[in-house]
Amino acid sequence: MSSESLPSAVQDVLQQNMLDRKFQDTLKAKNTYRKTAYRLPMATRSGEQMIYSRNGHISPIFDNIVPSTNVGLDNGLTVNGINGTGDISFEQWSVFIGMLPKFLDINLMNEQEVIADLYAKYIEELSIHAAFVLDLRVARVAFQAYLSGSTYFPAAATAQTTIRVDNILGLNTAFQTITVNGNAAAYGLPQPVSNTYPLTATITNSSTGAVQTVTIVGATPDATSGLAQDPANISTLGMYGMSGTLTFSAAVTVNAHDTITAFDAPAIYRPNGKASINALALTDTLSAQMVLDAVAELRANGVPSPLSDGTYPCYLDPRIEAQIFTDPQYQVMSQGQMESQDFVGARVSRNFGVTFVTSTNAPAFTFTNFNNQQITARHAIVTGEKYVQESPFAGVEKAIKGLPDGGVVDTRLIDDFVFAHRLPIDRAGQIMSLGWYWIGGHVAPTDATITKATIPSASNARYKRAVVMQVANGN
């Protein structure tokens, strides 16, 4: 059989008197983010969307009841909500079910002419691909949430109610609020911002530092499937943000590079007090103090560690790993570090309260900042318990068992992935299809009901279970 008649993917591995008889190892992504995602299966027969709920805590009481009010059948406990009426708020988040698939076809007759086992290699590569895709999905969900709520204005605007920003995520939704003991509290699912569901934010002047409070009542993503088409837009290069326009309740004047931050934006740490990604410079590298601040943020919000040794995983890419490991403060404080029990090869630094885990899947954005420097923004993230929820569809196994046993497709469920092999059903009986699919969804749960009223050291952040550190380097 002439090799020219074979698929191009097969031709390259046919014997040409110069190829090795086995495949050599290839480079692989180092998957990490999914290892500490919280697995919560999505129940069967619950529709395409599952809504999860979480209650807040009961606010503390500081004052004694007035004796003169201790009357009647309720002993006067209707005063100040002491009887519990309206004393607890509830928030919700949702997961949408979907399928991630990848299939390849292999000609079994051609496969016999290949000097290496192409079928076995396809199986191996599909397994690697499945793990890689799910890890990237978890990373995307995490960074979309924990990089949200604050952004910058690419251009100046004078007395405008609608102005374009780099990333509308976190500024395009707001919680309904209810009154709990006289204070506004989040309730239900976040809704698109509007006059009914406004969002309070502050705009900071990039030159003077002056702050103005504004109310966002609308948000519109840029054209084409909600993704920015502006090549200069940073946030969408890795699908971790969405540029668009914000509508304000009153006219606003801004300068280029001014920043806007929602009152419930998560903490984002940048070196040297930089307020936005566009302000980063080549000297803004990861420091030990940033890691300490990130850990302190999680602890202040009462976020538990997901690891067995009580430390928080700090996922970072090799470029900024080099930055932190050469920091003098890190070198002094990390003496006596040890290997992690949860991650092979990861470094535990108990003085920092973190386990440093290297990943090749961290987002990196290359752009020209407002000082015309070509830089790459890189991201480390310190995560707490349940920072991302992974919800595989619980009905997959039952559905597989109920498939017709016609001997055509062999399906195996492994770690929530379905690996499927379809036997050759073409006229010549030569072409087999093999691949994987995963059904479920991912979400970053909110903790908007946890406020200073119930945890005095807590922040107002909508997302509290991770902290992103955004730094720069030259490549």
- Residue in 435, 448, 377 with CA at minimum distance from that of residue 149: 448
pLDDT of residue 76: 63
Residue 81 lies in a domain: no
Based on the domain organization, do 343 and 431 belong to the same domain?
yes
Confidence of residue 384 (pLDDT cuts 50, 70, 90): very high
- According to the model, what pLDDT value does residue 439 have? 92
For residue 369, pLDDT beyond 70 = yes
Which of 334 and 288 is assigned the larger pLDDT? 288
Cα distances from 393 to residues 45, 365, 442, in angstroms, run 10, 33, 11
Beta bridge partners of 354: 312, 349
Distances (CA, A) of 329 to 155, 296, 310, 351: 38, 17, 22, 11
- Tell me the residue range of the domain where 162 lies: 151-264
Q: How confident is the model at residue 26 (pLDDT cuts 50, 70, 90)?
A: low
**If you write DSSP's letter for every residue of 111-140 in order, what string do you get?**
HTTBSS-HHHHHHHHHHHHHHHHHHHHHHH
Q: Which comes out higher in pLDDT, residue 339 or 260?
A: 260
Instruction: Answer whether residue 348 shows pLDDT above 70.
Output: yes
**Per-residue pLDDT at 108 exceeds 80:** no
Would the pLDDT of 41 be above 70? yes
- pLDDT at residue 217 tops 60: yes
Q: Of 46-60, 136-150, 405-419, 420-434, which has the strongest mean pLDDT?
A: 136-150
In a domain, 195, yes or no: yes
| Predicted pLDDT at 394 | 87
CB–CB of 190/174 below 8 Å? yes
Average the pLDDT over 82-92 and give the result: 64
C-alpha angle 201-207-213 in degrees, rounded to nearest 5: 20
Highest mean pLDDT of the ranges 36-40, 158-162, 445-449: 158-162
Mean pLDDT of the region 424-435: 82
36 and 134 co-located in one domain: yes
Same domain for 171 and 239?
Answer: yes
Rounded to an integer, the average pLDDT of 248-256 is: 96
Task: Determine, yes or no, domain membership for 381.
Answer: yes
Among candidate residues 218, 233, 264, the one where a domain is terminated: 264
Is the domain of 470 the same as that of 391? yes
Q: What is the pLDDT of residue 3?
A: 46
223/290 same-domain check: no
- Using left for φ > 0, alpha for ψ between -120 and 50, and beta otherwise, residue 254 falls in beta
Predicted local confidence at residue 62, as pLDDT: 64
Between 474 and 360, name the one with better pLDDT: 360
pLDDT above 90: residue 243: no
The tokens describing 269, both together, are 């740490």
What does DSSP assign to residue 14?
B
289 and 410 inside one domain: yes
Q: Which of 248, 264, 280 is the last residue before a domain boundary?
A: 264
pLDDT at 5: 46
Q: Is residue 51 in some structural domain?
A: no
What single-letter amino acid sits at 220? Answer: T
Question: Is there a domain that residue 35 lies in?
Answer: yes
Residue 231 has pLDDT above 70, yes or no: no
User: How does residue 406 score in pLDDT terms, banded at 50, 70 and 90?
Assistant: low
pLDDT category of residue 226 using cuts at 50, 70 and 90? very low
181 lies in some domain: yes
Token reading at 241: 């943000």
Indicate whether 451 and 431 sit together in one domain: yes
| Residue-level pLDDT at 336 | 55
Q: How many domains does the chain have?
A: 2
Tell whether the model's pLDDT for residue 304 goes beyond 90: yes
Q: Which of 246, 264, 282 is the last residue of a domain?
A: 264
Asked whether residue 238 falls in the same domain as residue 382, the answer is no
pLDDT for 113: 54
* Shared domain check, 271 and 222: no
User: Do the strands 150-152 and 259-262 form a parallel or antiparallel pair, or are they unpaired?
Assistant: antiparallel
Considering the domain architecture, whether residues 279 and 381 belong to the same structural domain is answered as: yes
Residue 391, pLDDT score: 92
Residue percentage of the chain with pLDDT more than 90? 41
β partners of residue 119: none
User: Does residue 408 lie in a domain region?
Assistant: yes
**Which of the two residues, 371 and 283, has the higher pLDDT score?**
283
Q: Is the pLDDT of residue 12 over 80?
A: no
pLDDT-derived band at 340, boundaries 50, 70, 90:
confident
pLDDT for 405 equals 62
Give the pLDDT band of residue 29 (cuts 50, 70, 90).
confident
pLDDT band at 15 (very low <50, low <70, confident <90, very high): very low
User: How confident is the model over 142-170, as a mean pLDDT?
Assistant: 94
Residue 302 and residue 157 in one domain: no
The pLDDT, as a whole number, for residue 234 is 44
Same-domain pairing of 433 and 468: yes
Whether 465 is covered by a domain: the verdict is: yes
